[in-house]
Amino acid sequence: MVVGGFFGDEGKGRVVAYLALRRNIRLAIRCGAINAGHTVVYGGRTWRLRSVPSAFVNPSVELGIAAGGLVKVDVLYKEIEETGCAGRLCVDERAGVIEEEHALRERSSDYLAKTVGSTLQGVGEAMVDRVRRVLRLARDVPELKSYLCDLSGIANEYLDEGHEVLIEGTQGTFLSLYHGTYPYVTSRDTTASAFLSEVGVGPKRVGDVIVVFKSYVTRVGAGPLRGEMSFEEAARLGWAEYGTVTGRPRRVAPFDFELARRAVVLNSATAAAITKVDALFPEVRGLRDPSKLPRRVKDWVEQVESVLKVPVLMLGTGEEVEDAVYLGEEE
């Protein structure tokens, strides 16, 4: 499992893509909804994905969208075409479907737009309709008929057979409806337990939970952000970013050890992955060989491991998926 450790934007997509290329994964499953964008840069191309799993970069990996997920038909079809994954993607028949009316309802809410800082993609309103038992599911939409499957059944069958299944969580731990900075949160739980529930896989089947952090903290929208710096200062450090879905400037703060430690606890993490390490230590940009890590970077990683009490599995050192230093044991 791969989950976000802060407020989203940690680089989960590139971590999932990297693992899909490195490990012998049979099936990769995307959770969440279209309000979370995962960016994948591979082979000189860039994809900004809101539905298709980031593991698509490995053509041998089967792909799925979880029962607890929400899809929007036009967004999904666009991404299927862009990634060329039509023959190996399935959508759980119980996944929810976002309609245009859901986005319209959200855009009419000043509270969501101005106070909470919602992406206004219709996700929250679709979740409301799901709770009210009036939301259309994937099985009710003719355009999705050729993609329907019982993804929970497939995932558990593959696990029974000894195959590796990868679950791609979305957003970040502290955007969780229950464990985040309420009310400045998303409309679902965003911890590992919740993503297992979305897929329909029990907790005893999990081998690894990798929590992804960035070398600094960002968040889009309102809510507390300890140590927040001005956008100008963030730009000076090379930390200025914009949201994948909204295009809004991301708020920025230094790496938060306290939040990171809590994310490890909430997710029962077995390891951490840290992206954008090259933004903190420019000398490692593009580095892939762990034997060439500078001493000061090793010292920082050791500090992170000491505080979090879990090993750091990999470091992202550039935009490309394969720009990474793998610190785990060789497969």
Active site residue 9: yes
CATH number of the domain at 105, please: 3.40.440.10
Residue 37 reports pLDDT greater than 90: no
For the ranges 103-107, 222-226, 301-305, the maximum mean pLDDT occurs at: 301-305
Per-residue buried b or exposed e for 13-29, using 16+ beta carbons within 10 Å of the residue's own CB: bbbbbbbbbbeebbbbb
331 within a domain of the structure (yes/no): no
Which residue from 246, 208, 23 is spatially nearest to 121, judged by alpha carbons? Answer: 246
What 3-state class would DSSP assign to 120? coil
Of 40-54, 98-112, 314-328, the range with the lowest mean pLDDT is: 98-112
pLDDT at 221: 82
* DSSP state letters, 236-278: HHT---B-TTT-PBPEEEE--HHHHHHHHHHHT-SEEEEE-HH
Tell me the percentage of the chain whose pLDDT exceeds 90.
84
Catalytic residue from among 38, 102, 129, 278: 38
258 within a domain of the structure (yes/no): yes
Catalytic residue from among 9, 92, 278, 323: 9
Residue 77's domain spans which residues? 2-326
Beta strands at 324-326 and 312-316: parallel, antiparallel or unpaired: antiparallel
Peptide bond into 183 cis (omega under 30): yes
**9 CB contacts (<8 Å, ≥6 apart)?**
172, 214, 218, 219, 220, 241, 243, 244, 250
77 within a domain of the structure (yes/no): yes
pLDDT at 106: 79
Active site residue 289: no
What 3-state class would DSSP assign to 83? helix
pLDDT at 193: 97
- The radius of gyration of the chain's CA atoms, rounded to the nearest angstrom, is 19
d(CA 155, CA 167) in angstroms, rounded, equals: 10
289 within a domain of the structure (yes/no): yes
Which residue from 37, 28, 78 is spatially nearest to 57, judged by alpha carbons? Answer: 28
DSSP H or E stretch at residue 234: helix 231-237
Residue 116 reports pLDDT greater than 60: no
pLDDT at 244: 61
Q: Which residues pair with 242 in a beta bridge?
A: 249
For residue range 39-96, list pLDDT tens digits in order.
999 999 999 999 999 999 999 999 999 999 999 999 999 999 999 999 999 999 999 9
Per-residue buried b or exposed e for 174-194, using 16+ beta carbons within 10 Å of the residue's own CB: bbbbebbeeebbbbbbbbbbb
Count of structural domains within the chain: 1
Residue 245 reports pLDDT greater than 80: no
Average pLDDT, the chain: 93
Six-digit token pair at 135?
Answer: 């939301």
